[in-house]
Amino acid sequence: MSLAAVGILGIAVLMAVLFLLRMPVGFAMAIVGFLGFAHVISLNAALGMLGSEIWGVFSSYGLTVIPLFIFMGQVCFHCGVNKRLYTAAYTWTGQVRGGLAMSTILACAGFSAISGSNTATAATMSTVALPEMKKYGYNPILSTGAVAVGSTLGVVIPPSVVLIIIGLQTGQSIARLFWASLVPGVLLTTLFLLTVWLVCLRHPAWAPAGPPTTWGQKLRSLPGSVEMLVLFALVMGGLFAGLFTPSEAGAAGSAIALGISLLGRQLTWKRFTAACADTLRVSCMIFMIVTGAVLFGRFLAVTRLPFETAQWVASLDVPHWVVICIICGIYVIGGAIMDALALLLITIPIFFPVAEAMGYDPTWFAVIVTVVTTLGAVTPPVGVSAFIVSSMASGVPAASIFRGISYFLAAYALCIALLMLFPDLALFLPGLIR
């Protein structure tokens, strides 16, 4: 059996282990990667690789950015920033038909910018938004679908944990990736809002208009969004100006979030400890996935599967855009059957060399695959965000939630198509910081 065939067999075994044994993805990647490396090289070499790679992952200074940004988001969540943000968005848009769903998407976008996590956004906004939309007579198909797709903005809008991992894995500037994803994140948010408007035109009974608000009420609601705007502006502004590195930005963001919460008298000892506990839990989960992906990536490297795949694709007598479409199709399918972060970590060693060999900008390619892979968070059978919303929406079957999500799939497709046709949508802002 050739080395490349061993690599393909390893991927097949990984998928079988995930599906049949329901093993956590980080452990599954670590086990298959270790055993595969031992088979190709030797057991002693695999043991040495295991020790060195685990130490390399957990001693990496660059990875400190992950718990720092997660802590920043958790502090904001436990201190009620999300609720105040949602109230402000609803005050401005709730009086139009579908405005409550639009407010939910805008609030998701805002909370995504301070949490960087789609699961955190899904859980948070489900708790806040679903009861309100139910109270105002919104159809659960629209309300749950809006929350589910809005939560995926947490992967695209910076600071995104997924973009941080991609940057560390591919050696790219995390600040550059953050700026590259900003315009696509705003574009995807706008397309979601347009989708809500179109759905309400077709099904006006699904989204009755809320009570009108005066300009005085609108202006009084603005302080609810100031915290998020200040936090986002200081973190991203500091990165853009070169005042601090991404890790320092995470530390600064955490400190600012703590300061805002203290000044607003929202930070109690109970909320602080809850934020710390959730940060530890989420960070450990991500670190385990990263460790497993590194071990599995080393196994793929010794099988030369990534390099042979790149050479095979480069030899295809088809336009490069066809190859990119094929890769995107693989990400859509893969994202629907496994965790998005794990999928990216497994496939980065395979597809990034392919994209670079064809002359594509790695920053642009990172943004493309990030947007494509967000579909996995809301598509069956995994659909993590969809099932989080399902657990929060009592009495709403999962089929109704996925039906609501289906209305937004065209928005994803259009966003991806625009990024392919106009790469400067992702590369314009990073070009300003060179």
| Distance, CA of 170 to CA of 163 (rounded, Å) | 10
Are residues 294 and 413 located together in one domain of the fold? Answer: no
**Residue 164 clears pLDDT 70, i.e. is over it:** yes
Given 278, 303, 328, which residue is the final one in a domain? 303
Are residues 328 and 298 located together in one domain of the fold? Answer: no
**Residue 357 clears pLDDT 60, i.e. is over it:** yes
Are residues 323 and 426 located together in one domain of the fold? Answer: yes
Report the pLDDT value the prediction gives residue 356, as an integer from 0 to 100. Answer: 83
Given 303, 329, 347, which residue is the final one in a domain? 303
Would residue 163 count as lying in a domain?
yes
Length of the chain: 434
**Residue 113 clears pLDDT 70, i.e. is over it:** no
pTM comes to 0.74
Q: Which of 128, 100, 104, 130 is nearest to 393 (CA)?
A: 130
Are residues 293 and 397 located together in one domain of the fold? Answer: no
Report the pLDDT value the prediction gives residue 133, as an integer from 0 to 100. Answer: 82
Are residues 49 and 171 located together in one domain of the fold? Answer: no
Calculate the average pLDDT of the chain. 80
Would residue 282 count as lying in a domain?
no
**Residue 280 clears pLDDT 70, i.e. is over it:** yes
Confidence of residue 275 (pLDDT cuts 50, 70, 90): confident
| Distance, CA of 35 to CA of 17 (rounded, Å) | 13
Are residues 53 and 76 located together in one domain of the fold? Answer: no
Confidence of residue 65 (pLDDT cuts 50, 70, 90): confident
Are residues 354 and 381 located together in one domain of the fold? Answer: yes
Would residue 86 count as lying in a domain?
yes
Least confidently predicted of 55-59, 91-95, 150-154, 417-421: 55-59
| Distance, CA of 319 to CA of 331 (rounded, Å) | 19
Task: For 34, list phi and psi in degrees, rounded to 5.
Answer: -65, -50
**Residue 256 clears pLDDT 80, i.e. is over it:** yes
Are residues 44 and 187 located together in one domain of the fold? Answer: no
Are residues 32 and 128 located together in one domain of the fold? Answer: no
Are residues 299 and 322 located together in one domain of the fold? Answer: no
Mean pLDDT of the region 387-413: 83
Are residues 261 and 130 located together in one domain of the fold? Answer: yes
**Residue 8 clears pLDDT 60, i.e. is over it:** yes
Say which amino acid occupies 153: L
Question: Residue 277 half-sphere exposure, CB side, CA atoms within 13 Å?
Answer: 7
User: Which range marks the domain in which residue 13 is found?
Assistant: 1-59+289-303
Would residue 227 count as lying in a domain?
yes
Task: For 412, list phi and psi in degrees, rounded to 5.
Answer: -60, -50
Query: How many C-beta neighbours within 10 Å does residue 320 have?
Result: 16
Structural domains of the chain, count:
2
| pLDDT tens digit sequence for 221-241 | 777 677 777 877 787 777 767
Mean pLDDT of the region 116-140: 75
Mean pLDDT of the region 150-172: 81
Between 338 and 3, name the one with better pLDDT: 3
| Distance, CA of 190 to CA of 77 (rounded, Å) | 24
Report the pLDDT value the prediction gives residue 237, as an integer from 0 to 100. Answer: 77
CB 184 within 8 A of CB 156: yes
Would residue 120 count as lying in a domain?
yes
Would residue 232 count as lying in a domain?
yes
Report the pLDDT value the prediction gives residue 117, as an integer from 0 to 100. Answer: 61
**Residue 250 clears pLDDT 90, i.e. is over it:** no
**Residue 114 clears pLDDT 70, i.e. is over it:** no
Report the pLDDT value the prediction gives residue 145, as an integer from 0 to 100. Answer: 92
- Interior angle at CA 335, CA 332 and CA 337, nearest 5: 115
Would residue 277 count as lying in a domain?
no
Report the pLDDT value the prediction gives residue 62, as an integer from 0 to 100. Answer: 65
Would residue 274 count as lying in a domain?
no
| pLDDT tens digit sequence for 202-219 | 998 898 877 788 888 888
CB 210 within 8 A of CB 86: no
Confidence of residue 434 (pLDDT cuts 50, 70, 90): low
First-to-final CA distance of the chain? 47
Confidence of residue 342 (pLDDT cuts 50, 70, 90): low
Are residues 214 and 160 located together in one domain of the fold? Answer: yes
Mean pLDDT of the region 410-422: 92
Cα 218 to Cα 122, 215, 222: the distances in Å are 26, 5, 7
Mean pLDDT of the region 320-328: 84
Report the pLDDT value the prediction gives residue 224, as an integer from 0 to 100. Answer: 67
**Residue 116 clears pLDDT 60, i.e. is over it:** no
